[in-house]
Amino acid sequence: MSLSIGIVGLPNVGKSTLFNALTKAQNAESANYAFCTIEPNKAVVPVPDPRLQILADLVRPQRVQHSTVDFVDIAGLVAGASRGEGLGNKFLATIRETRAILHVVRCFDDDDVIHVANSVDPLRDIEIIETELLLADIQILQARIGRMEKLLKGDKTLGPKLEAARRLLDHLDGGEPAATFGEPSRALDELLAELRLITAKQIIYCANVDEEGVAEDNEHVRRVRALATDRGAEFVKISAKMEEDLVGLEDDEYQEFLESYGIAESGLDQIVRTGFGCLGLISYFTAGVKEVRSWTIHDGDKAPRAAAAIHTDFERGFIRAEVIGYDSFVEHGSEAKCRAAGALRVEGREYVVRDGDVVHFLFNV
């Protein structure tokens, strides 16, 4: 399972700079002018997890494979994007395919860095972007309603879905995102799965600050943090430019630099951890001489479903799972020693896989 995060925001708020920092590669052009990003930038980024390297040091495999996050950076959106203004509207279909939205907001004052509105006001900027995303969803929903109305005479089973779509449209027309529509039903679930409405996705507000704003929140950051708290949304603060400048440093130097600014974890760690949390994702491990690997599943997945992350045949032919807790594996140092110490458990189909479990699946197809 891959976690995909779409990066949105006004032009020139630091999206591409953040993309470079997150991917640790200068493969997204960034510059001090609007619409620098023309084509959507995509990258597959390994999820940093120190537990994976600790397991690798014990097992000494031929290779180590991290879970991954897909980051998608599109051109900045502007007021009127839903009507074709600017460039970002062309790539909203790309964002619809992601599982979460990282909304980057400029939270620093600098006369040398232009702003499309010629002033820094993060709440105004957030409203502009969210209005355009809402209008884009309204257009998609209106088109779907129009098609269903034409097909209804020949297919009466569309009735519940059409009614759910109309109620959802009223909700969106009232200025509310799809995520706050509180009328769950099977018809609505099917509709949302088909349309992949942007405003139905989890939002992570990302306050992009300068170096001075890293250690202590400025007024811009406090306003965005308060908004996120008020909406029950996730929030991260990052200095995209500072982290971009760190690209290429050795791990020790990198960590030392972060600590000098009072930062406990990198921007990538913050965003991935927050993304995992808001989407209810966890990781389990497989550990053998050929490969030590991390697998991403939903928190609460039972063993057969978790096995499907490796291959669908594992779920279909699931027999049992041999499970060692991460702490136990590290304590004893190997699978063989865990077996000898009675730390390896045999679990069946109803076992709920836990974050950090080291698992070996037995199956037959």
Residue 293: the pLDDT is 97
Identity at 181, one-letter amino acid code: F
Whether the pLDDT of residue 202 is over 60: the answer is yes
Q: Which of 86-100, 101-115, 172-186, 211-225 is predicted with the least confidence, judged by mean pLDDT? A: 86-100
Element spanning 268, H or E? helix 267-279
- Most confident region among 32-41, 265-274, 281-290 by mean pLDDT: 281-290
For residues 65-92, average pLDDT: 67
As a whole number, mean pLDDT of residues 70-95 equals 65
At 25, which CATH number? 3.40.50.300
Give CA separation, 312 vs 298, 307, 362, in Å.
Answer: 15, 7, 13
Asked if pLDDT for residue 241 goes beyond 80, the answer is yes
Contact indicator for 4, 70 with CB cutoff of 8 Å: yes
pLDDT at 29: 40
Cβ burial of 253 (10 Å; 0-12, 13-18, 19+) is exposed
- The verdict on 200 and 305 lying in the same domain is no
Please tell me the distance from the alpha carbon of residue 224 to that of residue 121, in angstroms, as a whole number: 10
In Å, how far from its chain's centre is CA 319? 32
Q: How confident is the model at residue 72 (pLDDT cuts 50, 70, 90)?
A: confident
Mean of all residue pLDDT scores within the chain:
87
Q: Would you say the C-alpha torsion 69, 70, 75, 78 has a positive or negative sign?
A: negative
Cα 219 to Cα 205: distance, rounded to the nearest angstrom = 15
Looking at the structure, tell me whether residues 81 and 155 fall in a common domain.
Answer: yes
- Report percent pLDDT > 90 for the chain: 57
234 belongs to a structural domain:
yes
Which residue range is the domain that position 88 belongs to?
3-278
In a domain, 295, yes or no: no
* 151/52 same-domain check: yes
Least trusted range by pLDDT, from 9-13, 85-89, 111-115, 339-343: 85-89
Q: What is the DSSP letter of 88?
A: G
Q: Is the residue at 317 inside a domain?
A: yes
DSSP element (H, E) containing 337: helix 335-341
Q: What percent of the chain has pLDDT over 70?
A: 89
Instruction: Write out the DSSP string of 103-145.
Output: EEEE----TTS--TTSS--HHHHHHHHHHHHHHHHHHHHHHHH
Position 79 confidence tier, pLDDT thresholds 50, 70, 90: low
Task: Please check whether residue 290 lies inside any domain of the structure.
Answer: no
Residue 84 sits in the same domain as residue 233? yes
Q: Is 248 exposed, middle or buried (0-12, 13-18, 19+ CB in 10 A)?
A: exposed
Residue 196 domain flag: yes
C-alpha closest to that of 20 among 244, 257, 249: 244
Q: Which of 84, 102, 111 is nearest to 45 (CA)?
A: 102
The DSSP secondary-structure symbol of 92 reads H
pLDDT digits (tens, 9 = 90+) for 294-341: 999 999 999 999 999 999 999 999 999 999 999 999 999 999 999 999
Phi and psi, residue 285, nearest 5°: -125, 150
> Do 167 and 238 have their domain in common?
yes
Task: Calculate helix-pair angle for 267-279, 15-23, nearest 10 degrees.
Answer: 90
pLDDT (mean) for 77-83: 57
Q: So what's the pLDDT on residue 75?
A: 64
Whether residues 114 and 57 fall in one domain: yes
Binding residues: 12-17
For residues 175 and 36, membership in a common domain is answered with: yes
User: Residues comprising the binding site for ATP?
Assistant: 12-17
In single-letter form, the type of residue at position 28 comes to: A
Would you state the pLDDT for residue 178? 95
91-125 pLDDT tens trace: 677 788 899 999 999 999 887 777 777 788 999 99
The domain tally of the chain equals: 2
Look at residue 80 and tell me whether its pLDDT is greater than 80.
Answer: no
Q: What is the tens place of the pLDDT at every residue in 14-69?
A: 888 888 777 764 343 444 333 344 456 777 788 888 999 999 999 999 999 998 88
Take residue 85 and report the two structure tokens written for it.
């203004």
Mark whether 256 and 162 lie in a shared domain: yes
Confidence of residue 73 (pLDDT cuts 50, 70, 90): confident
How many separate helices (H) and strands (E) can be counted in the chain?
15, 12
> What CA–CA distance (Å, rounded) separates 241 from 16?
10
pLDDT average, residue stretch 200-218? 91
Say yes or no to pLDDT of 234 above 90. yes
Judge whether 291 lies within some domain: no
Q: Are strands 281-287 and 234-238 parallel, antiparallel or unpaired?
A: unpaired
Contacts of 344 (CB under 8 A, 6+ apart): 322, 323, 324, 335, 338
One domain, residues 188 and 87: yes
> Of the segments 21-35, 185-199, 261-275, which one has the largest average pLDDT value?
185-199
Q: How far is CA 364 from CA 4, 165, 303, 307, 322, in A?
A: 32, 43, 15, 12, 15
Is it the case that residue 88 has pLDDT exceeding 60? Answer: no
